[in-house]
């Protein structure tokens, strides 16, 4: 009855939908980031309080530490294998220097952080790749840390949750980094054969050798909206085939459409989704 709706006066603030919340006021001179999707400038504090997303739904990249504090229960994460680092197995020209620069810039010593954590109360092995460390490329140390994580999880009968971000294998380590694909896959397989649960969350960007190994081997594969996930790089495909790529090629939605991911996991409810899936596979009790 539209006429009655029009005449209706709310009796208190709650009926109106609650008291209006004043928008967070950015400090003057606070740095802003422009959202590549809606082109609005957003103060950094707003991005941070919003799990690194824009109001339009765009997901900004997160560093590994930010992700860990976002997904793991407070204070539950304990890092492991942080002493495993890459040395220069091939003696590749300029690689040692590059490693030093990247280590200083990113404040991490390798492109993945592993450890035990609890998510929504379920204990698990968590590994999170670091986009600020050579774009999460997989060298011998990354492979070793992930392999050890799976071996540890198999021994302790823990589920594994993995966040992947990677440009692929690290070419400065040549064949040794290629072999990491087989090595990690072997460890994933053993973990899987032991009847344990492995969940991957594909984030922007997951490509190359990581897509072709442990990123795609999860029992359940979630993808963050808008993430680029593929094997060959889009530019390389365009150059070799000389065809224009379809819109949204290699995005998470494309993956979902073609049946290579189970669901999208927007950050808004990502933690509850991951906790629920972990409970379903390892909790036993009802949610």
Partner 1 sequence: MSTEAYEIVKKARSSGRYTGIDFIKGIFNHFFELHGDRRYADDSAVIGGVAYLDNMPVTVIAIEKGHNARERMQRLFGAPNPEGYRKALRLMKQAEKFKRPVICFVDTSGAYCGIGAEERGQGLAIAENLCEMMTLKTPVISVLIGEGGSGGALALSVADRVYMLENAVYSVISPEGCASILWKDSSRAAEAAECLRLTAKDALKLGVIEGIVSESNMDTPEFFSGLKDKLAADIKTLRADRQLLDKRYNRFRAFGRTE
Subset of 223-242 contacting partner 1 (CB under 8 A): 230-232, 236-237, 240-241
Residue 179, interface with partner 1 (CB under 8 A)? yes
Tokens of 188: 């994933």
Kind plus residue range of the DSSP H or E element containing 106: helix 95-106
Residue 279, interface with partner 1 (CB under 8 A)? no
Q: CB under 8 A: which stretch of 4-12, 30-38, 68-76, 136-144 binds partner 1?
A: 136-144
Concatenating the DSSP letter of every residue in 44-77 gives HHHHHHTTTB-TTS-B----HHHHHHHHSPTT--
Residue 63, interface with partner 1 (CB under 8 A)? no
Contact 199, 167 (CB under 8 A): no
Residue 143, interface with partner 1 (CB under 8 A)? yes
Residue 185, interface with partner 1 (CB under 8 A)? yes
Tokens of 113: 């952080």
From the list 33, 65, 92, 106, which residue makes contact with partner 1 (rule: CB under 8 A)?
92
Q: Give 47 or 210: the residue with its C-beta nearer to partner 1.
A: 210
Neighbouring CB atoms inside 10 A of 212's CB total 16
From the list 24, 56, 194, 245, which residue makes contact with partner 1 (rule: CB under 8 A)?
245
78 closest CA partner among 39, 126, 36:
126
Residue 205, interface with partner 1 (CB under 8 A)? no
From the list 216, 223, 265, 274, which residue makes contact with partner 1 (rule: CB under 8 A)?
216
Binding residues for partner 1, total number by CB under 8 A: 57
Neighbouring CB atoms inside 10 A of 174's CB total 14
Q: Give 62 or 146: the residue with its C-beta nearer to partner 1.
A: 146
Concatenating the DSSP letter of every residue in 24-50 gives PPPPTT--EEE-TTT--EEEHHHHHHT
How far is residue 285's CA from residue 287's CA, in Å, rounded to a whole number?
6
Q: In angstroms, what is the minimal distance from the CB of 155 to partner 1?
A: 14
Q: In angstroms, what is the minimal distance from the CB of 283 to partner 1?
A: 26
How far is residue 174's CA from residue 102's CA, in Å, rounded to a whole number?
19
Interacting residues with partner 1 (CB under 8 A): 84, 89-90, 92-93, 139-141, 143-144, 147-148, 169, 171, 173-183, 185-190, 192-193, 208-209, 211-217, 230-232, 236-237, 240-241, 243, 245-246, 249-250, 258-260
């Amino acid at each position: 009855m539209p006429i009655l709706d029009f005449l209706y006066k709310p009796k208190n603030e709650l009926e109106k939908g609650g008291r209006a919340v004043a928008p967070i006021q950015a400090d003057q001179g606070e740095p802003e980031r422009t959202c590549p999707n809606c082109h609005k400038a957003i103060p950094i504090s707003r991005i941070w309080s919003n799990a690194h997303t824009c109001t339009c739904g765009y997901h900004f990249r997160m560093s590994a530490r930010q992700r860990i504090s976002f997904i793991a229960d407070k204070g539950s994460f304990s890092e492991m294998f942080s002493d495993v680092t890459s040395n220069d197995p091939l003696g590749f020209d300029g690689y040692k220097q590059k490693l030093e620069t990247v280590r200083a810039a990113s404040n991490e010593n390798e492109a993945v952080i592993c450890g035990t954590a609890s998510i929504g109360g379920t204990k698990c092995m968590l590994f999170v790749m670091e986009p600020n460390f050579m774009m999460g490329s997989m060298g011998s140390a990354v492979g070793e840390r992930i392999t050890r994580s799976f071996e540890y999880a198999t021994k302790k009968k823990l589920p594994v949750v993995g966040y992947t971000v990677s440009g692929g294998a690290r070419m400065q380590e040549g064949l040794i980094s290629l072999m990491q694909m087989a090595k990690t896959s072997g460890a994933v397989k053993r973990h899987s054969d032991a009847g344990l649960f492995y969940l991957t969350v594909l984030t922007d960007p997951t490509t190359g050798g990581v897509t072709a190994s442990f990123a795609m081997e999860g029992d359940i594969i979630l993808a963050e909206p808008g993430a680029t996930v593929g094997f060959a790089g889009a530019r390389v495909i365009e150059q070799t085939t000389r065809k224009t790529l379809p819109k949204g090629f290699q995005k998470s939605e494309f993956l979902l459409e073609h049946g290579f991911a189970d669901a999208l996991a927007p950050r808004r409810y990502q933690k509850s989704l991951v906790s629920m899936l972990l409970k379903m596979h390892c909790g036993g009790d009802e949610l």
